[in-house]
Amino acid sequence: MMGILHNVYVNKHRQNHEVINLKQVTVSITEQQEKFLKLFAEKQYHGAPDNRCTSYPIHFVETKRYRYIPYSDDIAWAFDDKPLSFTSDSDYDRWYTSEVETVIEWYENRGEDCLIEIKPFKEIECKEIKAVNGEDLFITDYFDYFKAYGVHIQAIAWREEYYEKVAPFFILEEAKRYMKYQGHNLHSPRVYTYGMGYGDQGEYGHFWELLMTIGKQLNQVEQSI
């Protein structure tokens, strides 16, 4: 452990027309804490490029996730901009973004050949075709489509992308480093920088300034040696 003095004044300090009492305290920190405090002050000072034009930034590593909205022809108009996904997997682990690919995989997984030509849904929509069982079937929706090809479909859904917060960082450089050593647990990750809420009078800004002050003073001590 290493002892450090906060080297702040014990008298009153005027800031933004407000009198603030500053106290002098001594804290003990580890070498790792010292390292990150110094880096924080060096990289994240007010106006620093790593702040990404954000006041009091906090950087979150986020991973891409998908949510699935069950398909229904009645609400298709509301999801025209979303891609459809299909699965014939009873565990819902394997999804496909193409109905043709779903049919092909269905037969390949069984070592069989489809007895009719595999066409995209749009080519046979609102048409009558000869199904794999020899019956004539009119195709009105995707459920008819897979029935015609003999595929036992488990689910059809619109796939919607979103990002889920994984890990927060005060230092952008450390957030980027995390994406490298944890990349195997992340899917198309990104670093998204958030700022303090508008009119936020809570603790976050005060703590951010405290860490910045300590980091700056540590760097000053190092430079003076």
Write out residues in the chain with pLDDT < 50, as ranges: 1, 3-13
Q: CA 61 to CA 55: how far, in whole Å?
A: 18
Q: Which helix (H) or strand (E) holds 76?
A: none
Radius of gyration for the alpha carbons in the chain, expressed in angstroms and rounded: 29
Phi/psi for 88 (5° steps) reads -110, 10
The per-residue pLDDT for 156 is 94
Q: CA 219 to CA 225: how far, in whole Å?
A: 10
Q: CA 20 to CA 160: how far, in whole Å?
A: 50
Angle of helix 31-43 versus helix 172-181 axis, rounded to 10 = 120
The per-residue pLDDT for 14 is 52
SS3 content of the chain, % helix, strand, coil (to 5): 35, 25, 40
The per-residue pLDDT for 4 is 46
Q: What is the DSSP string of 148-211?
A: HTT----EEEEEEEEEEEEEEES-HHHHHHHHHHTGGG-SS-EEEEE-PPTT--SSHHHHHHHH
Q: Which helix (H) or strand (E) holds 83?
A: none
pTM above 0.85, yes or no: no
The per-residue pLDDT for 140 is 93
Residues in the chain: 225
Helical residues (DSSP H) of 44-141, grouped into ranges: 99-108, 121-124
